Amino acid sequence: MRNFHFKILFLVLFTAIILTGCTTTKQDKTTLTENSLSSSSIQVSSTTDVLTYSLTQVSEHNTEVDCWQVINGKVYNISKYIPNHPGGLNSVLKGCGKDATKMFDLQHKPKTKEMLKNYYLGNLE
């Protein structure tokens, strides 16, 4: 009779250990899936984080001290560069608040285009 009690006790303990093990494994898998999901959503949001501006917004920045220009579909705030512009003030000011792609491409060497990245704000809508 005593032996029988031991067997029952052993079975109960064994079942309890197996069940606890399964539950823990299941939790780990759930946590792993949640982590993978959340890190992948961070990546998605970072790739779509490009600011866009309409031509109307650009047109509001049309002065010597606040000058935005659109060049090849990208919006630049070149206000800080204006006083140093080698082509003088008059020429560069003509493009403020506008799509200045044609004016820019006509007047500059291809290497000058590399300077634009320093003034990049976002893309044209």
Residues that bind ligand HEM (CB under 6 A): 69, 78, 81, 85-87, 91-92, 94-95, 100, 103-104, 107-109, 112, 115-116, 119
Question: Which of 8/115 has CB closer to ligand HEM?
Answer: 115
Torsion of CA 47, 53, 119, 85, to 10 degrees: 160
Minimum CB separation of residue 59 from ligand HEM in Å reads 14
Is there a contact between 101 and 70 (Cβ–Cβ < 8 Å)?
A: yes
Minimum CB separation of residue 69 from ligand HEM in Å reads 6
Minimum CB separation of residue 51 from ligand HEM in Å reads 19
Half-sphere exposure of 74 (CA within 13 A, CB side): 14
Is there a contact between 99 and 57 (Cβ–Cβ < 8 Å)?
A: no
Question: Which of 2/109 has CB closer to ligand HEM?
Answer: 109
Minimum CB separation of residue 101 from ligand HEM in Å reads 9
Two tokens at 74?
């990208």
Question: Which of 29/94 has CB closer to ligand HEM?
Answer: 94
Rg (CA), the chain: 32
| Residues ≥6 apart with Cβ < 8 Å to 81 | 115, 118, 119
Question: Which of 58/92 has CB closer to ligand HEM?
Answer: 92
